[in-house]
Amino acid sequence: MLQGKDGIGGRAEVTRSVGSTPMSAQVPDEFVPTSELPASSKLSWRTMLAVPIAALVTIGIHFLFSKKEAPVETHSYALLFWEIIVVSFVLVGAQFYSSGLRRWMRHMCPIFTIAILSLAAWDVITLGLRLLPLPYFPGPAAVLRSLVNDRAMLLDSTWHSLFLLLSGYALGVIAGLISGLCIGWSSPVRYWGMPILKVVGPIPATAWIPLAMVLSPSAVVSAASLIALAVWFPVTMLTASGISNTRASYLDVARTLGATRSYLIFRVAVPAAVPNIFIGLFMGLGASFLTLVVAESVGVKSGLGWYVSWAQGWAEYGKVYAALIIMAAFFSTIMTLLFKIRDRVLVWQKGTIKW
Amino acid sequence: MVAVTEAKASALRVTDVTKSFSAPDDPLTRRIVLSGISLSLAPGELVSLIGPSGCGKSTLLRLIAGLDSPDSGELLIGSEPINEPSAERGLVFQDPNLFPWLTVRRNIQAGLVARGVLREKREEVDEFMRLVGLEIFANAYPHHLSGGMAQRAALARALINHPKVLLLDEPLGALDAFTRMRMQDEVLRLWQDRRTTMLLVTHDIDEAIYMSDRIMIMSPRPGRIERTISVTLDRPRQRSGEDFLRLRSDILKYLHFAGEASAELST
C-alpha cells in the first residue's frame, strides 16, 4: 500500500493501513457471524468442527440414498469428502501456529460448511427423493464421476478455451487502447471515430457470427476476432472517456514543468485514465466470456462451450454440469487475476472496488 | 493611476495586456477580463496581486504562464516574449495538483523527467526534498499527505526547474490558519534561499503585507491594477506590529473605497 517504510510518518501510515485493511477486506458485510471477534483470538470449536461434521453428514446422506447405485459411482464422491475431512483436521492443527490461517479459516469456514451442506441437499433432492427428472438433473456423485472420467477431454477443452480467450482478449485490448487513446486525445479523430463507435459498438459481438463465418479463413480465427470485437468496444469507450476527462489542471501543471506532447499523453493523460481503463477491461472480460462460449458452441469444434453442447447432444448431463463447474473455476480465476493486476497498478488510488 | 516601477532589467514585464472571454450564456458578446494591465517585476522581487474574486488575477497568471494568450499587449520574460508554457515559469495552484499516481519523489522530479534531464540532475531531487522537509515521505503517495505537505511538494516540484519566475495562484488559500502562517514562513524561506522572483495571487491582505515587497491592488470589471503599494517593513515582519496594522487598515479602506464587498477578503 505504502512503500515509505523508512520514514517515521510513512511507518505510521503503514501500521494504520495494515491495521484497518485486513478487517475491512475480511468483513464485507455484517452478516458474517464471527466478524466482530478480534483477529488474534482462538477459533471456537464450532468453527473448527463445522466443515468435517458437514462432510460426515453429507457422506451419511449419500450412503443412505445410494444403496442401489453402482459402487463405482459412490466411491469417488465419498473419497472426496474423506479428503475434505482429513484436510480440515490438518488445517485445524496448523492454525494454532499461524494467525493468518486462523483469520482465513474464520472467514471461510461458514462458507465451506454451507457449500458442503448444499451438496447434501442436492443429493437429497435428486438421488434421494427423485424430485427432478433424471437425465437432466443427475446427483452430485454422478457429476463428479463425469468430471473424473472425462478429465482428459475437459482439460483439453479448457486449454483450447484459454488459448482462444487470451488471444482474442489481448487483440481486443490492444486495439481498444490504441483507438481509445486516439479518440480521447485528438479532436479530429474523436469527431470521425465517435459516430462509428456509437453505431457499431453496441451491436453484440455474437450478432456478427454469420458475417465472421463467411469472412474468415478458419473458425478459430473468426472466434478470436469476435472476442476481440466484444472487448474492443468497452475498452475503447472507457479509455477515450478517461483520456478526455483528464483534469485540465494536471495538464496545465505538466506544461509549466516543461512537458513535451508525449509526456502529456503517456505520463499524464494515460495514468490519469487508468482507473477508467480498468473498468473497460473488466467489462471487456465479461463480454469475452460470453462471446467465447457462444462462438465455441456454434462454430469452433473445441473448447468448453463446444464441450457443453456436445455433451448435451448425447444427453450426458453429468458432463454438462462438470463443464459448467470447470467454466466457473476458469472464468473466476481469470477475473481474480485481473483484479490482482488492478490492485498492483492502482496502489496510488484510495478506495477501490473489492472482488 | 497605474503605478509601474520601472526597473532597468526586469525579470518579468507585462505591457498593456488585454484579455476577454466570450460570455458563457451569450457567445456573441465578449466580456473583458483584463484591461490595460502593465507591471514589471525586478529580479528576486516578491510581488502580491490582491483583489476581490473575478478581478482577473488568475487569468493574468495564466497569461504569464503561457497557458492562455492575450488579445493584445506584450509579455516579456527577461527580453524573451512569452508564447507558450515553459519550465522557466513555474506555476503553483491552490490545489497542489500533485499527480496522484506518482510518489512524492516522482512528483518532485516530474519536471526533470519532462525535460529529459533527470540523469544529470538526479542529486537535485534529494536536495529539493530536503529543502521542503519531505525526505521521509519520498515513497508515499499524495493521498497520504496533509494539505500543507502536499503544497510543499508542489512548491518543490515547481522550484526544481529553477524557474526565472514562480507564479503562485492562492497557494495557501485552502490551508487552515495555523498551517497557512507556517507555510508563509516556509515560502519566504525558499524565496530568500533561492532568490526566485515570485508573483503571488492572494485573497488575504495579511498574507500580502507579511510576504511581499510590493502589493498590487486589482479591481474587477474589467480587471485593472488600481494601485501599487511598496511594503518597506523590515523582515521578519511582525503581524501585529503598529506599521503592519496601519498598512492593513489603509489597504482595507482602499478596497472599501473601491466599492468592493469586504466579505470577499478574508483577514
List pLDDT tens digits, range B217-263. Answer: 888 777 878 788 888 888 888 888 888 888 888 888 887 765 544 34
In whole angstroms, give the CA distance from residue B157 to residue B135: 13
Residue A141 lies in a domain: no
A89 assigned to some structural domain:
yes
The residue from A112, A136, A160 where one domain ends is A136
Domain boundaries, chain B: 12-96+163-260
- Residues A196, A60 share a domain: no
Domain end point (choices A136, A165, A180): A136
pLDDT in tens, A280-330: 999 999 999 999 999 988 888 889 999 999 998 888 898 999 999 999 999
Cβ contact B157:B96 at 8 Å: no
Does position A31 have pLDDT exceeding 60, yes or no?
no
pLDDT score for B265: 46
User: Is A2 part of any domain?
Assistant: no
Residues belonging to chain B: 267
Q: Tell me, what's the pLDDT at A293?
A: 92
Shortest CA gap A28–chain B (Å)? 24
So what's the pLDDT on residue B26?
76
| pLDDT over threshold 50, residue A146 | yes
**A47 pLDDT above the threshold of 50:** yes
Provide the CA A263 distance to its chain's centre, in angstroms.
35
pLDDT the model gives residue B47: 92
Q: Model confidence at A14, in pLDDT bands (50, 70, 90)?
A: very low
**Distance, CA of B111 to CA of B206 (rounded, Å):** 32
What secondary structure does DSSP assign to A28-86, as a single string?
A: SSTTSTTTTS-TTSPPPHHHHHHHHHHHHHHHHHHHHH-TTS-HHHHHHHHHHHHHHHH
Rounded to the nearest 10 degrees, what angle do helices A99-123 and A8-26 cross at? 20
Q: Domain ends where: A136, A159, A184?
A: A136
Question: Given an 8 Å threshold on Cβ–Cβ distance, is B114 in contact with A267?
Answer: yes
Report if residue A18 sits inside a domain. no
pLDDT of A23 reads 37
Q: Are residues A167 and A96 in the same domain?
A: no
pLDDT-derived band at A277, boundaries 50, 70, 90? very high
Q: State whether A56 and A172 are in the same domain.
A: no
Calculate the average pLDDT of chain A.
Answer: 84
What's the CA gap between A265 and A254, in Å, rounded? 11
Q: What is the rounded CA–CA span in Å between residue B211 and residue B198?
A: 10
Q: Do A51 and A89 have their domain in common?
A: yes
Range of the domain at A234: 151-345
Q: How far apart are CA B103 and CA A342, in angstroms?
A: 18
Check whether residue A101 and residue A187 sit in a common domain. Answer: no
Which whole number is the average pLDDT over A131-147? 86
Read off the pLDDT band of A15 (50, 70, 90). very low
Is residue A258 in a domain?
yes
Specify the pLDDT at position A69. 65
Q: Mean pLDDT over residues A101-124, rounded?
A: 91
B114 and A254 in contact by Cβ < 8 A?
yes
Nearest to B161 among A257, A348, A350 (CB): A257
Does 3.90.1280.10 match the CATH number of domain B12-96+163-260? no
Interface probe, candidates B144, B145, B151, B162, chain A, greatest A C-beta count within 10 A: B144
Dist CA B98 CA B141 (whole Å): 9
Domain membership of residue A48 (yes or no) is yes
Res A351: pLDDT: 62
B30-41 vs B214-219, strand pairing mode: unpaired
| Pairing assessment for the beta strands B89-92 and B214-219 based on DSSP bridges | unpaired
Q: Residue A63: pLDDT above 70?
A: yes
CA-based nearest residue in chain A for residue B68: A252
Nearest CA in chain A to B95: A249
- Within 10 Å of residue B243's Cβ, how many Cβ atoms? 14
Q: Are residues A160 and A110 in the same domain?
A: no
- Paired strand residues for B77: B12, B80
| Number of domains into which chain A is organized | 2
Quick one: A211 and A310 in the same domain? Answer: yes
pLDDT of residue A11: 38
Least confident piece of the model among A21-25, A40-44, A236-240, B257-261? A21-25
State the Rg of chain A over Cα.
26
pLDDT at B58 over 50: yes
A233 and A196 fall within a common domain: yes
Residue in A8, A250, A263 nearest the CB of B136? A8
What pLDDT score does B190 carry?
84
Do A2 and B140 lie within an 8 Å CB cutoff?
Answer: yes
The average pLDDT across A160-187 equals 95
Q: Higher-confidence residue: A72 or A229?
A: A229
For residue A248, the model assigns a pLDDT of 92
Instruction: Write the pLDDT tens digit of every residue in B127-164.
Output: 888 888 888 898 889 988 888 889 889 988 998 988 88
Residues 6+ apart with CB under 8 A from B57: B49, B50, B51, B169, B201, B218, B223
The Cα–Cα gap between A151 and B177 comes to 70
Q: What is the ipTM of this complex?
A: 0.85
Whole-number pLDDT of residue A355: 63
- For residues A235 and A324, membership in a common domain is answered with yes
Q: What is the pLDDT of residue A340?
A: 92
**Which has more confidence, A35 or A80?**
A80
Q: Are A13 and A21 in contact (CB under 8 A)?
A: no
A192 and A104 in one domain?
no
Q: Does A254 fall in a domain? A: yes
Lowest mean pLDDT among A4-13, A58-67, A83-92, A245-254: A4-13
pLDDT of residue A40: 55
How far away is chain A from the Cα of B235, in angstroms, using its nearest Cα? 31
